[in-house]
């Protein structure tokens, strides 16, 4: 480990340089957007959590009090709250951070409430004929339970009758165990409604790519950053992510077509199916007897990600824009209130229609102008520098880049159509960072000469170039402390100047880890979502852990009889790949080993709760046939570490 990973070093974020401070001052001049947003963000407040702190399994799952510095700065600024912005925060991002400050239980309309500010997402409560209909139960059961308790305390206790997942991202289903139980769902007491493909996409994003995505998400959301003007101020889409794991209960009903209508606890809902928009599986819906439109996460008060920097599938921008237009056409004339899975609602038919039209046109503009320039032969990197957000969108807070940014959204559109490759053969087979870095440093005259030139660029305020050129040095020689420190300083100044919360968090996390090293590595084999997966999805998650180099020439097959599901599966290893398929009792004769168990037994083994040997020895799992077949597969699975390096080799 490099010297920079000595966590005893007293590392403190640095102030803004004169260049950064002046750039932020200029960005704040004439920064005028819809002032009604502040009224909307606080409208209808009924009650707040008594402390703003919600306990979780590892300490506080949520602590709103950490962000009191924002309210204190605004109060100190007096009659002009915009003057409260620190030099280390982009003024437009500071505005968004202020808008994300109000927290509590809010009345949106008669029979409709939201709890906001106790998770990055919103939880919505609708009064049905006999109980609650809950939309998007947050990220984790601890925040969801606290919000349900807040609602029951101030609105009267009601049983939960239905839960609606708007889409397949964890911050919209992960808290379901805080509002209901698997037993209640199995008994038919609670309906869980989700878009078609929900489970497939939830697995793909949160299990198959889970370890890598979780590590990268630390840069996007910045949970390890110190909270304050030089650290974490917001996530753009909400204040912050809670620090507790998600859960999952599988849906009981799916929505797979636009126009599908359900009556849920006496409330009519008309659905719009919007796959491959903000999430691969997503839906919006309208309450025709109420005039309410839920736009899920397809429309929020920010330019969204067309691909998040944590990683995900690139989203279909053209379809996304068309879905918003379709919602406007289908429901716009009847909608009096629009609410979403993040941020605050909109009231009034005309205001909602204007909001939807601007959101629709923003995504269409990004798509069309990116591809117009691509068809002129420009690359994604070039187009991202060419395009500037038109004034029509800059005039509105909800179309500015607090979460996504125009720069990386342009590259996402380009990549969806034309892939990672820009067409230039020099970029077809580049050296990886360490090998390239060694060659760049040699070409530039050595490490010390490179740092001297980079320091001159830093003093001139060219921070983008400093981090780019010093990246070669750090990957060439991660022990070069002067180079690491200078790159960290440049990352920090770039972060201070970002309108996007996610970019700010990523830059500041890069600076932090260059100075202190990455977090301790821990095995990430366990997933709190495994219990909700079906057998095929569990085997898919196992398959990505197979160590190809260890199974050369091996063949194995295992028949699985899941007694609780009355299902038979055959898992085979051949040509260094695993394949699972449904089977029947007859296939036991074809398998080298036969296991009799429950799905829960399999989850206990692959999550590390118990070993196969111990489960077989205790009789929990019954094995017949050749054990070597089982060990050829499960003895050659990889484990993933949570703290892998990002800004160094």
User: Which among 312, 308, 313, 279 is positioned nearest to 296, based on CA atoms?
Assistant: 279
Q: Please state the rounded mean pLDDT for residues 229-246.
A: 97
The CA distance from 418 to 522, in Å, is 37
Position 84 confidence tier, pLDDT thresholds 50, 70, 90: very high
Q: What is the mean pLDDT of residues 75-79?
A: 93
> In this predicted model, what pLDDT tens digit does every residue of 425-467 receive, in sequence order?
999 999 999 999 999 999 999 999 999 999 999 999 999 999 9
525 — pLDDT class (breaks 50, 70, 90): low
CA dist 143 and 137 (Å) reads: 9
Residue with tokens 């379809």: 319
| Per-residue tokens: 345 | 């609602």
Q: What is the pLDDT of residues 30-73, one digit of tens each?
A: 788 878 999 999 999 999 999 999 999 999 999 999 999 999 99
Predicted confidence (pLDDT) per residue in 328-368, tens digit: 999 999 999 999 999 999 999 999 999 999 999 999 999 99
CA distance 46 to 117: 13
Q: What is the pLDDT of residue 7?
A: 44
Neighbour-count burial of 538, counting CB atoms closer than 10 A to its CB (0-12 exposed, 13-18 middle, 19+ buried): buried
pLDDT at residue 291 above 70? yes
The residue among 488 and 585 whose pLDDT is bigger is: 488
Say if residue 204's pLDDT is above 80: no
d(CA 97, CA 95): 5
End-to-end CA distance of the chain: 10
What would the mean pLDDT of 240-266 be, rounded to a whole number? 97
What is the predicted pLDDT for the residue at 43?
Answer: 98
Gap between the Cα atoms of 597 and 90, Å rounded: 56
φ and ψ at residue 546, rounded to 5 degrees: -65, 125
Phi, psi of 306, rounded to the nearest 5 degrees: -90, -20
The mean-pLDDT minimum among 298-302, 399-403, 636-640 falls in 636-640
Instruction: Give per-residue pLDDT as tens, 490-501.
Output: 999 999 999 999
pLDDT of residue 380: 97
The pLDDT assigned to 230 comes to: 98
Instruction: Give the rounded distance of the alpha carbon of 110 from its chain centre.
Output: 32
d(CA 38, CA 42): 7
Tell me the β-bridge partners of 1.
none
DSSP tally for the chain: helices H, then strands E: 22, 21
For the chain, what percent of residues have pLDDT higher than 90?
A: 89
* Per-residue pLDDT tens over the stretch 631-641: 999 999 999 88
The fold of 430-516 is: 1.25.40
Query: Is the pLDDT confidence value at 479 over 80?
Result: yes
The pLDDT mean for the chain works out to: 95
Contact 559, 570 (CB under 8 A): yes
> Could you give the CA distance from residue 313 to residue 280 in angstroms, rounded to a whole number?
8
Q: What is the pLDDT of residue 1?
A: 38
DSSP 479-508: T-HHHHHHHHHHHHHHHHT-SSHHHHHHHH
Q: What is the pLDDT of residues 139-149, one digit of tens each?
A: 999 999 999 99
CATH number assigned to the domain covering 530-634: 3.30.1050.10
Fold of 3-9+34-414: Metallo-beta-lactamase; Chain A (3.60.15)
Residue 9 has pLDDT above 60, yes or no: no
pLDDT bracket for residue 523 (50, 70, 90)? confident
d(CA 210, CA 204): 8
Nearest to 190 by CA among 262, 139, 265: 265
Q: How many residues are recorded in the chain?
A: 649
The CA distance from 631 to 331, in Å, is 57
So where are the chain's domains? Answer: 3-9+34-414, 430-516, 530-634
Average pLDDT over residues 538-562: 95
Which pLDDT belongs to residue 10?
52
Strand partners, 62: 54
At residue 527, the pLDDT reads 67
Mean pLDDT of 288-294: 98
């Amino acid at each position: 480990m490099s010297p920079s990973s000595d966590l005893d070093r007293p590392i403190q974020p640095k102030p803004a340089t004169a260049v950064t401070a002046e750039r932020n001052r200029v960005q704040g001049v004439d920064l005028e957007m819809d002032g009604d947003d502040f009224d909307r963000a606080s409208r209808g407040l009924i009650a707040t959590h008594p402390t703003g702190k919600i306990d979780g399994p590892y300490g506080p799952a949520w602590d709103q009090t950490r962000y009191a510095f924002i309210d204190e700065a605004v109060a100190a600024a007096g009659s002009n709250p915009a003057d409260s912005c620190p030099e280390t925060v982009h003024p437009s991002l500071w505005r968004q951070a202020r808008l994300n400050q109000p927290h509590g239980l809010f009345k949106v309309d008669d029979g409709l409430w939201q709890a906001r500010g106790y998770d990055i997402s919103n939880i919505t409560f609708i009064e049905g004929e006999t109980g609650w209909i809950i939309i998007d139960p947050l990220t984790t059961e601890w925040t969801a339970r606290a919000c349900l308790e807040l609602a029951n305390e101030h609105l009267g206790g009601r049983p939960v009758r239905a839960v609606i997942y708007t889409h397949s991202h964890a911050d919209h289903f992960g808290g379901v165990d805080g509002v209901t139980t698997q037993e209640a769902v199995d008994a038919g007491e609670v309906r869980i409604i989700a878009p078609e493909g929900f489970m497939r996409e939830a697995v793909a994003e949160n299990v198959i790519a889970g370890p890598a995505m979780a590590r990268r998400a630390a840069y996007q959301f910045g949970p390890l950053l110190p909270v304050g003007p030089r650290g974490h101020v917001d996530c753009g889409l909400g204040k912050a992510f809670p620090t507790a794991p998600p859960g999952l209960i599988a849906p009981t009903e799916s929505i797979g077509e636009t126009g599908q209508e359900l009556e849920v606890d006496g409330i009519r809902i008309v659905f719009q199916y919007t796959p491959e928009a903000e999430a691969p599986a997503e839906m919006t819906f309208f309450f025709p007897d109420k005039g309410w439109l839920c736009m899920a996460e397809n429309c929020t008060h920010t330019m969204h990600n067309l691909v998040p920097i944590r990683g995900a599938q690139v989203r279909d921008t053209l379809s996304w824009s068309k879905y918003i237009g379709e919602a406007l056409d289908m429901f716009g004339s009847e909608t009096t209130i629009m609410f979403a899975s993040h941020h605050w609602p909109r009231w009034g038919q005309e205001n909602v229609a204007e909001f939807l039209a601007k959101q629709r046109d923003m995504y269409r503009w990004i798509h069309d102008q990116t591809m117009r320039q691509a068809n002129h032969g420009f690359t994604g990197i070039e187009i991202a520098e060419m395009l500037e957000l038109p004034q029509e969108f800059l005039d509105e807070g909800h179309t500015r880049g607090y979460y996504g940014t125009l720069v990386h959204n342009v590259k996402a559109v380009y990549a969806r159509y034309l892939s990672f490759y820009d067409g230039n053969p020099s970029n077809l087979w580049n050296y990886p960072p360490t090998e390239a870095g060694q060659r760049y440093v040699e070409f530039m005259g050595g490490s010390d000469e490179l740092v001297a030139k980079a320091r001159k660029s830093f003093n001139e305020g060219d921070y983008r170039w400093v981090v780019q050129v010093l990246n070669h040095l750090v990957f060439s020689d991660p022990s070069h402390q002067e180079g690491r420190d200078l790159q960290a300083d440049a990352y920090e100044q770039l972060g201070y100047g970002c309108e996007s919360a996610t970019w700010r968090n990523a830059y500041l996390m890069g600076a932090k880890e260059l100075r202190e090293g990455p977090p301790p590595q821990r095995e990430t084999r366990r997933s709190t979502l495994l219990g909700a997966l079906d057998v095929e999805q569990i085997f898919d998650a196992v398959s990505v852990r197979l160590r190809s180099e260890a199974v050369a020439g091996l063949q194995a097959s295992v028949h699985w009889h899941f007694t609780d599901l009355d299902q038979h599966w055959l898992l085979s290893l051949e040509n260094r790949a695993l394949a699972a398929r449904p089977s029947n009792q007859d296939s036991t004769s074809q398998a080298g080993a036969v296991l009799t168990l429950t799905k829960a037994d399999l989850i206990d083994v692959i999550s590390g709760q118990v070993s196969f040997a111990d489960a077989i020895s205790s009789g929990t799992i019954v094995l017949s046939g050749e054990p070597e077949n089982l060990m050829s597969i499960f003895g050659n699975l990889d484990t993933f570490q949570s703290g892998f390096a990002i800004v160094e080799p």
